[in-house]
Structure 1
Amino acid sequence: MSTGESWGPAEPAGPTGAAVRKRALRRAAVALGGGAAAAVYLWHTDPHQPGQLLIPCPFKWATGLLCPLCGGTRMAYDLMHGEVVTAFHDNAVLLTLGGPVVAYAVGRRLVAGLRGRVYRPRLSGRGNAVVLGIAAVWMLARNLVG
């Protein structure tokens, strides 16, 4: 075997900056289109009224308890209709903490993708503990207080 030969196929090179940008734009367009379609449907479907065709919370269905995300659909509906106080009542923690965190993560991923880089958010063990702790305290508080 000569020194120029290799034993297996060449390792694939990572995606180029142009490929990452194209993929980021494609994913953003798909997410925007799906989000817009869901928003149009939700705009005309009042989740505060019974009998609406919406996906019920599986945790609430199985246990009868509110999960940390319960009220998120009602909250989104209320925000789209300019009812911020009602949205806060539907799920205060999701509105005040979840919204900004998701906006930051999505924005950071989109900006990195447009720059030809891949952004992979990572939570440390402490970060996971904080998120789970907030969710647990919120779930307990809203089920005990009512």
Structure 2
Amino acid sequence: MQISITTNGKRSFIWSAGLVFLGAILFSTKAILVKLAYRWGIDSVSLLALRMLFSLPFFLLVAALSGRQEKYKGLRLGRKDLVSLLLLGIAGYYLASLLDFMGLQYITASLERLILYVYPTLVLIIGALFYRQPITRV
């Protein structure tokens, strides 16, 4: 059975793959750029504030474009959901990024990348050893 891909679908796939590749490249350079910024005397909080400030227009653009789609027209978040999202963003993203940036003051960029990618496996192993949680397939 042969699957036919339309020109629009092919173009969309190429754009998507390109954006994933670009995102991976930019994400991998983050630690190096942070280490270079530390040489200029910028502290972690200021650097993280600049990072969030520069990323804000992209998030606003995505929010504006997704708000135009028909499937999102009737969705509205309540006050409780907005507060929960705000707290989750502060605790989940800001705190993790701040600790990551602060850690880069003490370790190399390559060690930071290694820790970042290995810690889910370490959490799994610690959960199995100390909390007797079985390791299962997803």
- TM-score exceeds 0.5: no
TM (norm. structure 1) is 0.28
User: When the two structures are superposed, what TM-score results if normalisation uses the length of structure 2?
Assistant: 0.29
Report the structure number with the largest CA radius of gyration: 1
